[in-house]
């Protein structure tokens, strides 16, 4: 039942609000008074087409809102829930905006709706009869709805409609899944191959970062070894090595301190420097031994780096993202499902069809 109608800037109406109560309501007036504007506004709110000429002159847009009591319309309430357009319990609010450029937007219970959805809802909400308009009483569906209403079968018909929609939804899903089964099988096979390939690589980000550091050292190994050898020779092995010269100076200063104690501080600094240089020589020799690794080990690291780089190029990602690619592949494979999903869907469809047939037969027997 229509409870409230609001019109803003529509044709010649700047603002109008009407509340309706139960029973019969008559709107009267002379020809040209604007009675048909109310009908046009209601039609617009229920999904009929509109154009820019319907916007009041000088205004940016027209707005129509109609509130209906749908407490006794379980079938409509079920349809609204199925379309995710349900609002407050027992209420359906239809709203339409039409701007001066001819663009239109529709809302059902505050949610954006297509004109087709508004028209479908309008079939339950209101019948508009005119001298030359389509008469719903001539439709078999309308006649059946009146008879069911007279017999008090609204709940039964609503249940049949719900069961039918559930069956059709499962039927459409099953058909779509069946039609795509071959493509899905091919995609599933590809994803399974990719998952096996990526899992076989056993990529680990921490390992990759370490490999990169090793690769940097390996790429410059010859130069680094030469630098270490030069340092060792300069500090301790050459004829005029730093450590040799330093040792000789320390020996002489130790003799000098006997005659002049003021040289003691200098001696202590040089002895400290001697210890530091000896430690540096030891560190360079250790570095030289560590860098001069087994050639087989170097070859294995180079091969591992090459395998990771090849896989990254194949999937067109940075090596650091190979772990993400594997995760995405697994998720996609799980979402794709398999033949078991189709078999389960077929069983669900059969069960839904049986439920629909049962309630439909019960309704048919009750009608007789």
pLDDT, tens digit, 9 for 90 and up, residues 21-67: 877 777 777 776 677 888 889 999 998 888 888 999 999 999 999 99
Tell me the sheet residues that pair with 2. 68
Provide mean pLDDT across the span 104-125: 90
C-beta of residue 173 within 8 angstroms of C-beta of residue 341: no
Nearest to 13 by CA among 33, 31, 29, 43: 33
Neighbours of 169 (CB within 10 A): 13
User: What is the distance between the alpha carbons of residues 142 and 126, in angstroms, rounded to a whole number?
Assistant: 12
- For the domain spanning 2-133, the CATH number is 3.40.50.300
Q: What is the mean pLDDT of the chain?
A: 83
Model pTM? Answer: 0.40
C-beta of residue 102 within 8 angstroms of C-beta of residue 126: no
pLDDT digit string (tens) for 150-202?
788 888 888 888 899 889 988 888 887 777 666 777 788 888 899 999 989 88
For CA atoms 110, 115, 120, 124, the dihedral sign is positive
Residue 352 pLDDT grade (very low, low, confident, very high; cuts 50, 70, 90): very high
In the chain, ranges of CATH 3.40.50.300 domains: 2-133
């Amino acid at each position: 039942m229509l409870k409230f109608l609001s019109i803003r800037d529509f044709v010649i109406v700047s603002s109008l609000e009407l509340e309706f109560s139960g029973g019969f309501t008559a709107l009267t007036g002379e020809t040209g008074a604007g009675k048909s504007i109310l009908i046009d506004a209601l039609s617009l709110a229920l999904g009929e087409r509109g154009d820019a000429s319907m916007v009041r002159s000088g205004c940016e847009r027209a707005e129509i809102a109609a509130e209906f009591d749908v407490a006794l319309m379980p079938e409509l309430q079920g349809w609204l829930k199925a379309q995710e357009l349900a609002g407050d319990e027992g209420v359906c609010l239809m709203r339409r905006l039409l701007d001066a450029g001819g663009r239109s937007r529709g809302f059902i219970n505050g949610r954006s709706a297509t004109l087709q959805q508004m028209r479908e809802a309008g079939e339950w909400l209101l019948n508009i009869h005119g001298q030359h308009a389509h008469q719903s009483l001539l439709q078999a569906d309308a006649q059946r709805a009146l008879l069911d209403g007279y017999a008090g079968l609204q709940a039964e018909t609503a249940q049949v409609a719900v069961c039918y929609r559930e069956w059709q939804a499962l039927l459409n899903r099953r058909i779509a899944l069946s039609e795509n089964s071959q493509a899905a099988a091919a995609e599933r096979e590809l994803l399974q191959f990719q998952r096996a390939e990526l899992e076989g690589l056993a990529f680990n980000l921490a390992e990759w970062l370490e490999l990169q550091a090793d690769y940097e050292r390996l790429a410059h190994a010859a130069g680094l070894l030469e630098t270490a050898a030069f340092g060792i020779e300069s500090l301790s092995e050459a004829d005029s090595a730093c450590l040799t010269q330093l040792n000789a100076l320390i020996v002489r200063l130790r003799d000098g301190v006997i005659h002049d104690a003021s040289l003691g501080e200098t001696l202590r600094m040089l002895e400290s420097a001697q210890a530091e240089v000896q430690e540096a020589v030891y560190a360079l020799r250790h570095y030289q031994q560590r860098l001069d690794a087994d050639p087989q080990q170097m070859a294995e690291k180079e091969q591992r780096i090459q395998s990771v780089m090849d896989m990254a190029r194949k999937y067109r990602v940075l090596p650091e993202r190979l772990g993400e690619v594997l995760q995405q592949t697994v998720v996609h494979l799980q979402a794709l499902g398999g033949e078991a999903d189709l078999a389960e869907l077929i069983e669900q469809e059969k069960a839904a069809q049986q439920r629909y047939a049962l309630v439909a037969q019960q309704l048919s027997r009750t009608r007789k």
